[in-house]
Structure 1
Amino acid sequence: MVFFQLSGSDGDSDQSHHAVLFSSRNVHRITSMQSWEANLSQANKDGKAVVANFTASWSHPCRDVMPIFSELANKYSFLVFLTVDADELAELCNSWNINATPTFYFLKDGRQLDKLVGSDKLELKKKVAAVADLVTNSPN
């Protein structure tokens, strides 16, 4: 399970600091460049596609889409779901040209299959399903 500390910046003192637990063993929190590289390398080795969520703890759209991300990770256990806090790993986010959060990258064999900027839940579901379909129907 992945534990996220979410802190708001909207001035609402009752909810300015709260924690949310997303129950998915398939969401891996990336905390270092080494962790990012190791997870991508393992996914490539295993022939798995990756759904990478570049997020920010203070972002309402990021918080709103996280339960869907977790739900999709549970549903598509044969994909690798990664979450990267843009504030914690600015260097990684800069290397991926992250200009807004959330931003989702869909990767396979070290190459980008697709990208989604924003928290459109239906579009996220469609794109994850398309990547899952591509993976399950590939001759690999």
Structure 2
Amino acid sequence: MGLCFGKSQTDEDDSVRSVEFAGGNVHLITTTESWDQKLAEASRDGKIVVANFSATWCGPCKMVAPFYRELSEKYPSIMFLLIDVEELTEFSASWDIKATPTFFFLRDGQQVDKLVGANKPELQKRITAIVDSTPQRQN
């Protein structure tokens, strides 16, 4: 299972690459206000949130990013968020992020599960379990 604990000093400018981490139905969170808005939207719509605390310089984060995008397209009933720990350092610290990637699973803004590391099968398993345990809303 891949984890990153600190930034490599040999990496070049990361700002250009942050875009490749988003895409699909993944929402890039760049401010605490956008975080609050997305959580309120998810609560209102009865959606589970998967929040990926990641970093552009992290190898395992890069490896899992395309899979995370695929999951976001496969499960439109879930809101997928991406938080760059370098961009939102204080916010990430408030979530006690010790390694990247770290995935939080939230229901009504409350943590229901957490996964540390780029473990694709486990990420898939936890998302499937959450989808299976979520009552379907009738419109």
Matches within 5 A, 1:67-106: 67-106=66-105
Asked if the contact 1:24/1:71 (under 8 Å) is kept, the reply is no
d(CA) in 1 for partners of 2:51 and 2:114?
9
Alpha-carbon offset, residue 24 of structure 1:
3.9
d(CA) in 2 for partners of 1:10 and 1:31?
23
TM-score in terms of structure 1 length? 0.82
d(CA) in 2 for partners of 1:12 and 1:101?
16
Could you list the per-position Cα deviations for residues 9-67 of structure 1 after superposition, in whole angstroms to 9, with x for gaps in the alignment?
A: 48588xx8674646844100000000001100110111100000000000000000001
Q: Which has the higher strand share?
A: 1
Larger relative contact order (Cα-Cα within 8 Å, sequence gap ≥ 6): 2
Matches within 5 A, 1:1-140: 9=8, 11=10, 19=17, 21=20, 24-136=23-135
TM-score in terms of structure 2 length? 0.83
Alpha-carbon offset, residue 137 of structure 1:
5.6
Q: Between Structure 1 and Structure 2, how many residues are aligned?
A: 130
5+ long unaligned stretches in structure 1: 1-7
d(CA) in 2 for partners of 1:95 and 1:26?
25
Residues 12 and 59 (structure 1), Cα distance of their counterparts in 2 relative to 1, 3 Å cut:
closer
Return the letter of the residue paired with 2:102. Answer: T
Q: Which runs of 4+ in 1 moved over 2 A?
A: 8-13, 16-25, 136-139
Q: Which moved more, 1:113-122 or 1:18-27?
A: 18-27
1:57 aligns to what SS in structure 2?
coil
5+ long unaligned stretches in structure 2: 1-6
1:35 aligns to what SS in structure 2?
helix
Percent identical pairs in the alignment equals: 47
Let me know the Cα RMSD of the aligned residues: 2.4
